[in-house]
Structure 1
Amino acid sequence: MEWTRDMRYRKMAEVADDEYLQLLEQTDKSPWRQHFHIQPPTGLMNDPNGFVYYNGEYHLFYQWFPLGAVHGVKYWYHLTSKDLVTFTPHGIALAPDTEYDSHGAYSGSGIVVDGELNLVYTGNHRTADWERIPYQLVAVLDAKGDFIKREQPIIRGPEEGYTEHFRDPKVWYDNGIYYAVMGAQRHDETGTIVVYRSKNFKDWEFIFELKTAYTNFGYMWECPDYFELDDHDVVLFCPQGIEASGDQFQNIYQSGYLIGSLNKSTFEMTHGEFTELDNGFDFYAPQTTVDKDGRRILFGWMGLPDTDYPTDQYNWAHCLTIPRELTVEDGRLRQRPLKAWESRRGEVETAEGYAMKHNIKLHPYEGSCYELIVDILENESTEFYIELRVSKKESTLLIYNKQERRFTLDRSESGQLCQEVNGTTRSVVLDSDLKQLQIFMDESSIEIFLNDGERVMTSRIFPSDDARGIRTSTESGQVYFKFTKYDFQEKQY
C-alpha cells in the first residue's frame, strides 16, 4: 500500500472503533509478536521518551504512529513500572492536538520540577506550504493522571543559523540551573548539539553549542543525552550521514557516545573518540535516567528509521530493548542487563561439554524465548560457531575468531530479512578474549552482551516458528562450553 501524506497525518480521533479493532486483530496475527520486549499494540513505535522516576514509579513513553508501520503523525504512548521488569500500559499521554504540535508530538524527556512530573518535547507544526516549525513544549502531570500542556512554547522555532531540524530536548537540573540539550542541524548541513538554560524552568535562553572535536560529523545529530557517571561526563547522540568504515558505522544511522570532561561554563568538552553504543543491526535513539538507587539506566529503540521490516505486512513495527545499567570502566561505557530482570527467569536447563568440528550438537533443549548464558571455559579452536533459532533451513549464526578476537553476528539465514544496509553481518573486535555471552532471545529479536557488557549487539530477526534449536561447532580444535538457559515464556506485552 502506498501511504499518502493525508494517510500519514490522519489522527486517532478520525478513526472509527471498528477500524482500529481490525488493526488490532491484524497485528495480533503476526508470528513475530514479542514476549518480553515493549512493543506497540498496532502501528509503528520508535524513540523511547520521557524516561523518569517519579513518586515511586518509573514513567516511560515511546513515539507512536498507531495506524501503520510507517512514520506518520506521532503520539506519546505511556507505560509505568515499579521495577523496570513489569510494565503497565496507560495508552496515549500526548496527542498532536494543539497548534504547536499539530503534526506530531516528537521526542523529549521527563523531569521532576517542584514535585511535579514535567514532559519537555518537540512539537512538530507544518504551515499550509508544508514548512516545518519546531516548538519546544511542556506538559505537566495533574492529579487525575492526565498531562496538561502549557499554553505557550518555552522555545519557538530554531535559533538563527540552524535549520528546521531542531528537536529532542533532554533536560536536567544542576546546582540551581535547569539545562537542556537538543539535536540540531546548522545551515551548512552539519550536525551539532545546542544548549539552553533556565533558572525557573519557564524562561529559557540559548547559550552555546556543545563544543567537541566533531565539528563536521554527519548532517544531523538526533536524541542527545548528557549525564555524569563514575566521575566522567558522558554525551550520547545519534549522528546521521556517517560513512561506513571497516566494522564501524555499518547501519543507516548511528548511535554512540563521547566520554570526557565538560566545562560547565563554556560547554567545551575534552573527550575520546565517538564510540558506537551497540554493534548490531537495530539500535537507535537511546534515552537514560537515574533509577531509585542512583544507577544510570538506558532503553533503546530496537529499530532504525527509513528501513523496512517483515512485520510491516501486519501493520506494526519495532520494539524497545530490555533496560541496561550503564557504568564507565576503562574509559568506555559498559552495558549490563538490569539485574532485576533475573526475576523473569523461569525453568533452568544446563549443559556443558566439548564442541568440535563437523557441527557437533552439544545439547538437546529448544525454545524461542529465553535468556542464555554461554561460558567459554576452554578454547583451543581457531574459530567457533554457535547457531541459535535453528531449523533445517534457518539459523542465526554467531562466530568468534580467537586470533583476531573478532565476534560476528550473521543473520543471512535467520528467516525473513529486513531491508539490508551494508550486508547481513555485523562484527566487533573485543578488548580481551571472549569468555562469556549473555543472550536474550525473543520471538523476533536477539540482544547479545559480550564479556559482561564490554560490547552489545542488538538485532531483529524473523525466523519461522519451527526454528528453535541450538548447536555448536568449530573450524579446528575444540571448545569447552557451559550453557545455562532460562525460559522466558510468560508473555507480558
Structure 2
Amino acid sequence: MTLLIEKAEHALTAKRDQLTMRWYPDYHLAARAGWMNDPNGLVWFDGWYHAFYQHHPYSTEWGPMHWGHARSRDLLHWEHLPVALAPEGPEDKDGCFSGSAVVNGEELALIYTGHKFHGDNTCDENLYQVQCLATSRDGVHFTREGQVLDTPVGLHHFRDPKVWRENGMWYMVVGARVEDTGMVRLYRSEDLHHWHDEGILAEAPQGMGFMWECPDFFTLQGKQVLMFSPQGIAAQGYANRNLFQSGYIVGHWQPGEAFVQETIFHELDHGHDFYAPQSFLTPDGRRIVIGWMDMWESPLPEQQDGWAGMLSLPRELTVTEDNRVQMRPAREVEALRQDFSRWSVSTLHNKALCVMEHCETAEVVLHWDLAGSDAEQYGIALQDGMRLYIDSQSQRLVLERNYPQLGLCGQRSVPLPRTTELNLRLFFDRSSVEVFVNDGEACLSSRIYPQQHQLMLFAWSGTAIIKECGSWNLK
C-alpha cells in the first residue's frame, strides 16, 4: 500500500464513525465517507463484481480524485476495499480521473485519465489529460504502469477511457473537446500499452455540446450503442432539463469502418439525478449499467452529514426494434424483497390516502388504469417533498421534488405511454427514488431528502382507478 493510499485509508476510518446516517443509502453503493461521483471500472473479475468510483476521501467536496473501490458477489451487498488509486505520479498528480477496467488474462487492468496541470491550474492551456494503466493480480492491490497514451496535439480536455476487446484487439473510446465541439475519439492496441489512433468515432453537431464525457461503446442485440454524457446542451421544452445530460446514439460499426449513426441523441434517464453511466457484462452476457445518482452544480444536502454522492441501482439494458435503449432493474434486485404488503385501494376520488406510515427502503408497484381514470392529477407522494403523478392535461408522468429549505425544487417528466395502463416500479432508499415505467419504456431517478416518511396515494379533480398496488420491504 502506497503512502498516499494509506493516508486516505486512515482518513476514511476516522471519518466513518462521524457520519450522520439519516440519508445514507441501505442498498445502493456510497463511499465510506467523503465525496463520490462517476462510477469507474465496472467489471466481473475472479468471482466478484468490482465497482470503482471517483472519490475524494478527505472532504465532502470534489477535490483531487482518487479511485474508491468496492466488490460484490451479487451487485447488492458491497464490501468496501482499500482505495485503489491515488494521485501520486507525475502523470496524474492533480487527479486520477474516470476510466474503465478489463480482464487481461490473469490480471485486472485499470485504464484511467491522469489529470495534471503544467503551471497555473486555473488556465486550460496548462491542462493535460493522459491515459494511464494500473494492473492487479488479486483485484485489490494495484501496480501503476504509468502513462500509455499522451494528450493529442492541440487538445487539453481528453478523458474517461472505456476499453473493450473485439476480434483479438483492444479498443478504447475517449471523450474530447476541440474548441467548443465535443467528440469521442477511437484507439486500438494489441497489448494495452501501445495505442494507435483510429480517428474520431463521433462528433457533436451544432448545439450538441462542447464536451462529451464518459463515453461507452458496446454491442447490444446486434447494434452498436454509443453512450455518453454531453456538456453544454440547451434545455428545450421538456428535454435536457438537467445542467448536464446522459444518453445514447444507436448505429452500426465494425473495426476499421466509420460509425454510422441511425438515431439522434436520446436521454437515458429523465430524472433530476443521473450522470456518467458506465456499462459492463455479467458472466451470463447481460449488459448492465450503473450511473452516478447526482448532478453537477446541484445541492447535495448530505454533505453536512459527512458524505456526498451515491450510485444508482444496476440496470439491465435492451434495445427495441426502433432503436430505443431501455433500462429495467437487474433481476438481482428482486433478492432484496422481504414481505409484500398489498394495499386495499382500487378507487380514489378527490382525496389522499396513507398507504405506508414509514417508507424509507421499499419497492412499490403501481398499476394505474389510464383509460378508466379522469382525475386531473393522481399518483403517489412521500409527504410534501416528493410526488410522482399523472398529469391528465399535459399527458405526462411527472416526478416532482419540493425541498425549498435545501434549494431542491422542480419537475422532470416523460410522455404518458400510448397504453390503457401505466405500470410503475418505484425504489426508495432513504434519499433516492428510481422510477421504472412500463418495464423499461422510461426511467426517472432523483435524490430526495424527506424529513418524514409517510407515503400517500392521491387523486384530485376527478377519479383514479388503480388495478394493483403494494410494496415490498427491502433488505
TM-score between the two structures when normalised by the length of structure 2: 0.92
Structure 1 equivalent of residue 216 of structure 2: 225
Q: Quick one: structure 1 residues 450 and 258, their matched pair in 2 at CA, closer, same or farther if it must change by over 3 Å?
A: same
Residue 243 of structure 1 aligns with which residue? Answer: 234
Secondary structure of the residue that 1:435 maps to in structure 2?
strand
In structure 2, distance between residues paired with 1:350 and 1:224: 42
Change (3 A) 1:263 1:145: closer
Q: Does 1:107 align with 2:98?
A: yes
> Alignment partner for residue 471 of structure 1, among 436, 457, 473?
457
User: Which of 249, 256, 272 lines up with 1:281 in the alignment?
Assistant: 272
Q: CA deviation at 1:29?
A: 1.8
Name which of 372, 381, 384 aligns with 1:388.
Answer: 381
Alpha-carbon distance between aligned partners in 2 of 1:475 and 1:367, rounded to the nearest angstrom? 26
Please give the residue correspondences for 1:111-190 in structure 2 after superposition, counting only pairs within 5 Å.
111-130=102-121, 131-143=126-138, 145-150=140-145, 152-157=146-151, 159-162=152-155, 164-186=156-178, 188-190=179-181
What corresponds to 2:334 in structure 1?
A: 342
2:411 is aligned, of 413, 425, 432, to 425
In the superposition, relative to structure 1, how do residues 20 and 368 fare at CA in structure 2: closer, same or farther (>3 Å)? closer
- 1:35 corresponds to 2:26: yes
For 2:94, the aligned partner's letter is H
Structure 2 distance, partners of 1:256, 1:346, is 33
**Matched position secondary structure for 1:424:** strand
Which whole-Å CA distance do the structure 2 matches of 1:42 and 1:354 have between them? 44
Cα distance in 1 for residues equivalent to 2:269 and 2:343: 29
**CA-to-aligned-CA distance 1:46-97 (integer Å, 9 cap, x gap):** 0000011112211111110012221101111111111212221112011111
Q: Does 2:202 correspond to 1:201?
A: no
Report the counterpart of residue 407 of structure 1 in structure 2.
397
SS at match of 1:343: helix
**How far apart are 1:194 and its partner, in Å?**
0.6
CA distance in 1, matches of 2:309, 2:147: 30
| Deviation of 1:403 (Å) | 6.1
> Take 1:125 and 1:133, find their aligned partners in 2: how far apart are those partners?
6
- State the distance in 2 between where 1:375 and 1:389 align: 18
Q: Secondary structure in 2 aligned to 1:475?
A: strand
Q: Which of 256, 263, 279 does residue 272 from structure 1 map onto? A: 263
Mapped to 1, the partners of 2:308 and 2:128 lie a distance apart of 27
Instruction: Tell me how far 1:13 sits from its aligned partner.
Output: 6.0
- Quick one: which of 421, 443, 462 aligns to 1:456? 443
Alignment partners' CA distance in 2, 1:12 and 1:70: 19
Whether the 8 Å CA contact 2:378–2:391 is kept in 1: the answer is no
Give the aligned partner of residue 472 of structure 2: 486
Pick from 295, 299, 312 the counterpart of residue 308 of structure 1.
Answer: 299
Shift of 1:484: 2.1
Asked whether the 8 Å contact 1:352–1:362 carries over to 2, the reply is no
CA distance change for structure 1 residues 20 and 401 in 2, over 3 Å: closer, same or farther?
A: closer
> 1:262 deviation in Å?
2.1
Greater share of strand residues, 1 or 2? 2
The SS at the match of 1:182 is strand
Measure the CA separation in 2 of the matches of 1:49 and 1:229.
20
State the shift of 1:480 in Å.
2.4
Give structure 1 stretches of 5+ with no counterpart. Answer: 1-10
Supply the distance in 1 between the matched residues of 2:405 and 2:15 (Cα, whole angstroms): 22
Unaligned 5+ runs, structure 2 = none
Query: Whole-Å Cα distance in 1 between the matches of residues 69 and 5 of structure 2?
Result: 16
The equivalent of 1:84 in structure 2 is 75
Partners of 2:417 and 2:457 in 1: how far apart? 26
2:44–2:281 contact (8 Å) kept in structure 1? yes
Partner Cα distance (2:413, 2:8) in 1: 44
In structure 2, relative to structure 1, the CA distance for the partners of 1:455 and 1:227 (3 Å cut) is: same
C-alpha distance in structure 2 between counterparts of 1:12 and 1:368, whole Å: 34
1:346 match: secondary structure: strand
Corresponding letter in the other structure for 1:450: V
- Write out per-residue CA displacement over residues 221-270 of structure 1, whole angstroms, 9 at most, x where no aligned residue: 10000000011110000110110001111001010000121253233322
**RMSD of aligned residue pairs (Cα, Å):** 2.2
| Cα-to-partner distance string for 1:311-359 (whole Å, 9 max, x where unaligned) | 1222321100010000002420110101111110112100143333322
Q: Which sits farther off after the overlay, 53-62 or 245-254?
A: 53-62
**CA 1:134–1:375 in 2, change beyond 3 Å: closer, same or farther?**
same
Aligned residue-pair number? 466
Contact 2:85 2:96 (C-alpha < 8 Å) held by counterparts: yes
**Equivalent residues of 2:249, 2:261 under 8 A apart:** no
**Letter in structure 1 aligned against 2:133:** V
Q: Is residue 375 of structure 1 aligned with residue 367 of structure 2? A: yes
| Contact residue 170 and residue 225 of structure 1 kept, 8 A | yes
Q: Structure 1 residue 213: deviation in Å?
A: 6.8
